[in-house]
Each structure stands twice: as C-alpha cells, then as structure tokens.
Structure 1
C-alpha cells in the first residue's frame, strides 16, 4: 500500500488547523489526521494516505521540534486512507499502534476489507473507488487492542467509543473535559463520494463514505450515539471541523434524516435496497 499513490486531492491538502491548543488537524490530500498533545508528549491519530510518511514527519517536526516522535499512533480504523503511511512511520519512529480489537484482523494480515463498492449510489469518487487498496496490512507485534475500559493508554483524558458501521472496529475519540470529538469516518463533513465536493471541501454533514461502508444500521446507531454526547467541537476524517450550534444542529439533522441523507438507495451493502 505504501507504494501506491492515490491521485486524489482537495483545496485543504497540506493545511494545518488548530482545533484546540493541544490538538492540530492536518489534511493529507483528502483525509485528516491529528497531532494530539505537546512537545515531547504527543500522539498521532490516524496515518494518512499512501506515500505521505515524509510529509507527516515534516509536519510533526514543525510542531514539536527536530527528531520529534509520538508516544504512539492511535487508529480510528484501518482503511487505506487512514493507514497509508503507517508501516513506514512505525519503522521510522519505532512506536506502537492502538486500535479496536475488531480491527486487528485487518492490521495483522489475517483478513482483507471488503472491496470498495463502485455500484453504490453516489458520485465520481464512488465510481473510481475500486482503485483504492482494500488489502490487509501486517503490523503484527506493533499493534495492540484498545483496553476494554474505554481508556486510550497514550492519551490521558480521552476515551474511545465503538462506532461500527463504516468498519467493524471503527472507534471515535472523545475528551469529556472540553467535549472534543474526533469522529473518524463515523460521520464526515463533506460528501465524500462526490468529486466536486471533495475537491472544494464544501461543508455538509454526511454519513460515513458510502463506497466503503458495509453495515448501514450499525452506522446509523453510531451517529446517534455520537450526537447524544452533545460535543462542542468535532473533527472528522474528511472535511472541516465543526463547532457549537453548527455542530449540534448538523448532527441533529443527520440523525433525523439519516435514512435519506446517508444510506444510499442502492449498492452492494444496502440490504435489498431497503432502508
């Protein structure tokens, strides 16, 4: 995977945004990753697109100083655009990885993800999705299951929440002290299957990317659970961050209209095309 360049980008590619003083969001082509913490005490959440390792290292050193490396890498899930640089970063930084136990088969070479669904209702990105890697990576010996008590060992003050649907072991990360949510792809703030929207990053509350989501009922319950947290700030795997009333109203609308907004009318993973 690390040798396969994906020809996709957006206007936000290469942009760093401060979400909180100890939380920075960086966009690699079409996907966001997060630097959580401060100099000498930080964690990387997700690992970007294939062939982005050097870019990620450079951005880390801009934030935290030359030679900076994280305490660990935490994954929301293991799809290609969230682990694209992972193997190279592990080798370079000599760090461990944390993910949900149900995501481990895809991270230890035991099971491939289902193939992206080009037949799903959606735009051009959905149509070209078969070019996206879906094969498992193998970081056996480096990856550890997140503990069952909901804590995130390298991230004190944060908790993980199981938000399946987009993938079996998808998690979102929440910090109760300031109600900040890192939602991964449980929901996103851009219509990820539409090429124009991805390029321009037009903000709108959407369900998980359609072409890789295999369990729509679980995905709906995951969005409901996150909305119940009433977050003050949310940053997602794709799209721009949202705050305050915009966030709460957007999530409430997505929950209320999930069947119409998020679930496609047809596709391989839509049971009998029946929402």
Structure 2
C-alpha cells in the first residue's frame, strides 16, 4: 500500500463511528460525504431501502456505517445514480462490491460509467470560487461499473421504489435524473439545482442555504439545464433534497425555486457564456 492509500484508509478509519444520516422525512435521510450528499430512502429499520448516489471516493465505509446505524444489517435493494460525475459515483464500486446489489442510471449516462466516454473537463472560469478554480483537476473518467450497472426503464419507473418516478433532467449531464414522489411532492433533485453555491468553498463549508442552479463548472448545456429547472419547479415540490447543500421545504423552497426558474439566465448561467450554450 502506497503512502496516499495509507493516508486515505487512516482518514476513513478515523471517521468511522461518526457517520450518521440526518433524517428529512420518516423514510428519507441524507449523509454528506464532504461536499456531496447521498440519500437513503426507506424508514429506519426497514429491510427494503434504496441508496441514491454514492458520494466521493474513499467514503464507502462511512456510508456503510451510516446505513448500518439506520437499517442494521439490511443491505439496500439497489443503488440509483442521479448521474455519473465523480462526486456522485466515487464510492459506488466499493459499495456494490460489498453489498452485491445492482446499480441503475439513465441510459444516456451509461457510457460515462462503463469506461467508454469521459465528461468534459471542468470550467475554471465560472463561479469565481475555489472549487471552480480546482475543477479542471477533478476526475472526468469514472470507475468502470459495468459489472453492476443497469439502465433505468424507459417508462420513468424506478426499480424497488414503487411510489417514485424519475424525471430526465439533462443539462448538468446528458442523462441526469431527478426522483419525484407525487403523493407528497418530495423531490430528490441531484444536481439539477442545489441549495448551496457550490463554486464557493466558503459557502460549502458553512452550508449557507439558498437555491442555486447546477454546479457551473461541470454544467455544459445551459439551455437544457434551464428547461430542467423549469420542469422541476412546475412540480411544486414541498420538500427537496439536493446533491449539494441542505434539504429545503415549504414556502422558502417554493419561492426560491420559482425565482430560479423564472430568472435562470440571470441567476445561474455564467455571464461570459453569452448564449445559453
């Protein structure tokens, strides 16, 4: 084991025992892996739960620790990925190896998580924050998940989540999805919109809560991103759990999401981009 791997393992072991999901609803909880959230769907103690996204790399043990505190020894029925960026699939292979469960993703994301295509390099010129400046160095080639990955059905249904449907929300990536439960208007938005200014490391550190567009440094089709935000706003979600930032609900969520949808070009699209694409 080289020095870097040893440090990663030591860091992960140091944090073991402190990983605990925060409850949003009785059957929804989230756990933040440094800069990005993973979501647990299933009531505490249930044996039919599902994991949404897998966070950054080297967090598999902490995610499993949080899962065990919530569900005991029950493994998830599946892993659903909102998209394939490194901070959402970083621990996917390790988790699937351990749990031996299928992973599902939109068909348009399959090439990015099976080694066939790489995402575009991050854009350091947008957002003005540290994460934007560092984004060209973020991984664009993901781990090959071919052993476990399956395309989501074309009809919007989600395996093992009977009350939920997925909505294709391209823009941030070609096959990005959000998950929506109509009966209580609960939304898991991925990075279609987020509740923290992700370009700014300070905003991420203090988790200042406000609805923002998708992380600008990794969004490459702003026209599609705008359409996706408008579609999600039209659902009038009551609760939203996003890929980055804290969950939001109620009137403040509705007001800020509608404002973003109405003024997307001014609030989300980087000024120097000019045209949406």
Give yes or no for TM over 0.5.
Answer: yes
> Following TM superposition, by how much is the alpha carbon of 1:264 offset from its aligned partner in structure 2, in angstroms?
0.3
Within 5 Å, which residues of 2 pair with 1:85-96? Answer: 85-96=91-102
**Mapped pair 1:238 → 2:239:** no
Counterpart Cα distance in 1 of 2:51 and 2:109: 18
The residue aligned with 2:15 is: none
**Mapped pair 1:99 → 2:100:** no
The residue aligned with 1:175 is: 181
**Mapped pair 1:114 → 2:115:** no
**Mapped pair 1:166 → 2:172:** yes
Query: Which ranges of structure 2 fall in alignment gaps of 5 or more residues?
Result: 12-17
> Following TM superposition, by how much is the alpha carbon of 1:128 offset from its aligned partner in structure 2, in angstroms?
1.0
Look up the SS of the partner of 2:96 in the other structure: helix
The residue aligned with 1:51 is: 58
Change (3 A) 1:14 1:189: farther
Higher relative contact order (CA 8 A, sep 6+): 1
* TM-score after normalising by structure 2: 0.91
Counterpart Cα distance in 2 of 1:15 and 1:134: 29
> Following TM superposition, by how much is the alpha carbon of 1:14 offset from its aligned partner in structure 2, in angstroms?
5.2
**Mapped pair 1:30 → 2:9:** no
Counterpart Cα distance in 2 of 1:185 and 1:15: 22
> Following TM superposition, by how much is the alpha carbon of 1:15 offset from its aligned partner in structure 2, in angstroms?
6.0
Q: In 2, are the aligned partners of 1:111 and 1:136 still within 8 Å (CA)?
A: no
* TM-score after normalising by structure 1: 0.91
**Mapped pair 1:252 → 2:253:** no
What is the RMSD computed on CA atoms of the aligned residues? 1.8
> Following TM superposition, by how much is the alpha carbon of 1:31 offset from its aligned partner in structure 2, in angstroms?
0.6
> Following TM superposition, by how much is the alpha carbon of 1:154 offset from its aligned partner in structure 2, in angstroms?
1.6
**Mapped pair 1:215 → 2:216:** no
Q: In 1, are the aligned partners of 2:165 and 2:179 still within 8 Å (CA)?
A: yes
Change (3 A) 1:121 1:242: closer
Q: Deviations over 1:58-87 (max 9, x none)?
A: 11000011x331000000001011001001
Larger helix share, 1 or 2: 2
